[in-house]
Structure 1
Amino acid sequence: MIPSVLPTYNRAPLAFVKGEGSWLTAEDGTRYLDLGSGIAVNALGHAHPALVATLTEQAARLWHVSNVYRVPEQERLADLLVARTFADTVFFTNSGTETAELAIKMVRKYWYEKGEPPRTTILTFEGAFHGRSTGAIAAAGSEKMVKGFGPLMPGFRHLPWGDMAAFEAAIGPETAAVMIEPIQGEGGIRVLPDADLRAIRAACDQTGALLILDEVQCGMGRTGRLFAHEWAGVTPDIMMVAKGIGGGFPLGAVLATEAAASGMTAGTHGSTYGGNPLGCAVGATVVEIVSDPDFLAEVGRKAGLFRQRLEALVATYPDVFEAVRGQGLMLGLKCRVAPADLVNAGYGAHVLTVAAADNTLRLLPPLTITDDEIAEAMRRLDEAAASVSRGLSSTSD
């Protein structure tokens, strides 16, 4: 018999009833150190006092009015994002998937209004994850995501990750846009080199193609800059943002230049809940905290400490791990075993991690994680790795 909740997830046998900072408490009272942050969502940890205060205050005033009217909280958050980024304008959504849909529509409408409606091809990359709507899975193109869901939306050309020769051969006057994650999250914490991102930006400038950056997982301070593309010194035309921007409240945003957004006039897009007062009030508090230079500097410092200790962990268990990947507090352990084995061993050590593609274990702790919590994380990760290593030894015997 099918359960009342549609069984589309392979859920762990855990349920949590309380969260505080970097910690989650299960139904039986056991505390777990959370190195997943709801998959990079809880950027400021669980129940951050500033977010609780903002949400409580806003909830007592106004929850929803719809986009038929002006939404002052929405305008405030948009102003903050415009002031702190490349963008001239912002559209608010509820999720990263919705940002992908709008980004695709924005590109196509841009070229339609410029008198080139056939220019619809968007270049995307193997290993990408842009969401689970029909448009987003067509953009990613992996068999795992698209099998059984055809016919797919046309207009995407999938290129191998990291192959700049293939990219340079593919982009041309008929290319509408390039859509890429500066760091692939679901794809295995694979970092796009700064030089490659600069080359992609230059090729877009040369051909007129728009550059869409998907910073749903790598943005909002996770790399030690507000957005990951800042390390390369380039700017996109369109950027997808979600996850961390709401600090746990469902919120996403598409940021764009005036030129890229020029086709999106009244009636061309909409959202019932997107940009609601609750989400935008919380989002503004998150942006104010995360964009502070001192906060970002601390993310960088803690990331260096965490990575150094992870390198030591890899050296200690060469039968389990291959290398450390990532940037800032978006880190991955390339594994020689199935990442799921380490995730499960982590449950026994009371530490939460997230599996990814390319045999990689994701570590996405709250940006507020403390030095003591990093030390405790390493103790628990060591326990999990030792458990997996012992299993390998017993199997070989």
Structure 2
Amino acid sequence: MSAIAPDASCVEAPPDDAAAVAVPVLDFSGAVRFDPARIVEGEVGEGEGAPASARCAALLTDHSFGDVARFFADRATAWRAAVETIRLHHRTAGRPKRREIVVVSDVPRLPPALAQDAGVRLIPEDEAAIEAAMGPNVAALLLAPASIDAGLRFLPGFVLAAARQAADEYGVVLMFDETDSGLGRTGMAFAHEWRGVAPDVMVLDGLPGEAEGGEGASALVLSARLARSLPSGLPLLDENAAAGLLLALSAAFAPGFETRVQEMGWKLEDRLATLRWRRPDLFTDTTGTGLVQGLVCAGPAAPLAEALAGQGLLAQPLGNVLALLPPLTVTEAEIAAAGDILDAVVAAFPPA
């Protein structure tokens, strides 16, 4: 059975059958990063008289490696701005042949915004592959320190360190995609902070706040060295949308927020670990950090996700990983409720 889409009150709208009973929905699918009703504005960067976009930028640069931040209404513009900035940086420095963006990923597909760019290629997540990829035409290395795609994937520190070393040695730009893990989802502001490796450029898309097409705002964060090459005339996020984004950013960077995410993550991790040991026939492992958690299933995770949805818990099946990605404003009571639903559904699930 499948879940009924929740309405604005986060309660499933019952079907026409008057006897049906509405089931409260716990959305742990990653679709909601922040519950707007629970956002309490924290630090706000520049003073209240500054435009919302300036205050958003101050928050991002104050809490990251970056010196400059820009916001866009769609992800395609943010990625195009990142690539054009990197290529212009090399062109201005007298290296016009450096146009190639090398994506370091074991997932055999490119980010959608880069898939049509002839100057983009894919290499494995391997130190030797990174070293071998270096050449006179390489402009940048692109990595996602943590990603939600074919399972929950966290790049090991040695891969990020190898990319940083290669970038410094060969004069190329190091770019990170923090779309899936940024703004505290892993328990740190950005996933790369767990590894102690900082990029020169960072892209975050699908950020909270209304923007065109319903896909959320996107941000580009750059070091001062790269920011000098930002193209002019790019369509920036309007101030109304920036005002909505400001609430989420101020919450994400408020004192104590990261610690709370880590604590909630530990509670969720404990429930999943107990479940994994209770049903070793269904689960082979747990994975995750912060509020990016998952159960590694012995088979496809989709049937279990469907059963959970029928009981009001929305999770995300990623191949053989059942991902649980609650809002960063999740409460301890909601984690307990999700754990109870998991326990009940898994207890009734047939052996693998």
Same fold (TM over 0.5): yes
CA deviation profile, 1:149-196 (whole Å, cap 9, x unmatched): xxx4212221223x2222222234432111111112113111112232
Amino acid at match of 1:257: S
Query: What is aligned with 1:255?
Result: 221
Query: Identity, % of aligned pairs?
Result: 31
Take 2:311 and 2:243, find their aligned partners in 1: how far apart are those partners? 37
Preserved contact between residue 130 and residue 162 of structure 2 (Cα < 8 Å): no
1:157 aligns with 2:131: no
Take 1:48 and 1:96, find their aligned partners in 2: how far apart are those partners? 26
- What is the total number of aligned residue pairs between the two structures? 333
Residue 245 of structure 1, CA deviation: 4.5
Preserved contact between residue 348 and residue 384 of structure 1 (Cα < 8 Å): no
- Work out which of the residue numbers 25, 31, 44 in structure 2 matches 1:32: 25
Query: What is aligned with 1:186?
Result: 149
- Work out which of the residue numbers 107, 110, 134 in structure 2 matches 1:127: 107
TM-score by length of 1: 0.77
Residues 203 and 131 of structure 1: CA distance in aligned 2, closer, same or farther (over 3 Å): closer
Preserved contact between residue 242 and residue 252 of structure 1 (Cα < 8 Å): yes
The secondary structure found in structure 2 opposite 1:260 is helix
Take 1:244 and 1:310, find their aligned partners in 2: how far apart are those partners? 27
Take 1:341 and 1:360, find their aligned partners in 2: how far apart are those partners? 11
The secondary structure found in structure 1 opposite 2:181 is coil
Preserved contact between residue 123 and residue 157 of structure 1 (Cα < 8 Å): yes
Preserved contact between residue 178 and residue 212 of structure 1 (Cα < 8 Å): yes
Unaligned runs of at least 5 residues, structure 1 = 1-11, 55-70, 139-151
CA deviation profile, 1:310-352 (whole Å, cap 9, x unmatched): 1111122222222111211112222222121122111122100
Query: Higher helix share goes to which structure?
Result: 1
**Correspondences of 1:1-397 after superposition (within 5 Å):** 14-19=4-9, 24-28=10-14, 29-38=22-31, 42-48=32-38, 50=40, 72-124=51-103, 125-127=105-107, 131-133=111-113, 135=114, 138=115, 152-161=116-125, 163-246=126-209, 250-267=216-233, 270-271=234-235, 274-357=236-319, 359-387=320-348, 389-390=349-350, 392=351
Amino acid at match of 1:85: S
Residues 196 and 385 of structure 1: CA distance in aligned 2, closer, same or farther (over 3 Å): same
Amino acid at match of 2:269: R
TM-score by length of 2: 0.86
Take 2:74 and 2:110, find their aligned partners in 1: how far apart are those partners? 11
Take 1:246 and 1:78, find their aligned partners in 2: how far apart are those partners? 14
Take 1:344 and 1:46, find their aligned partners in 2: how far apart are those partners? 27
Residue 244 of structure 1, CA deviation: 4.3
Amino acid at match of 1:126: D
Residues 44 and 91 of structure 1: CA distance in aligned 2, closer, same or farther (over 3 Å): same
Residues 37 and 47 of structure 1: CA distance in aligned 2, closer, same or farther (over 3 Å): farther
Preserved contact between residue 128 and residue 187 of structure 1 (Cα < 8 Å): no
Take 1:98 and 1:328, find their aligned partners in 2: how far apart are those partners? 30
Unaligned runs of at least 5 residues, structure 2 = 15-21, 45-49
Residue 97 of structure 1, CA deviation: 4.3
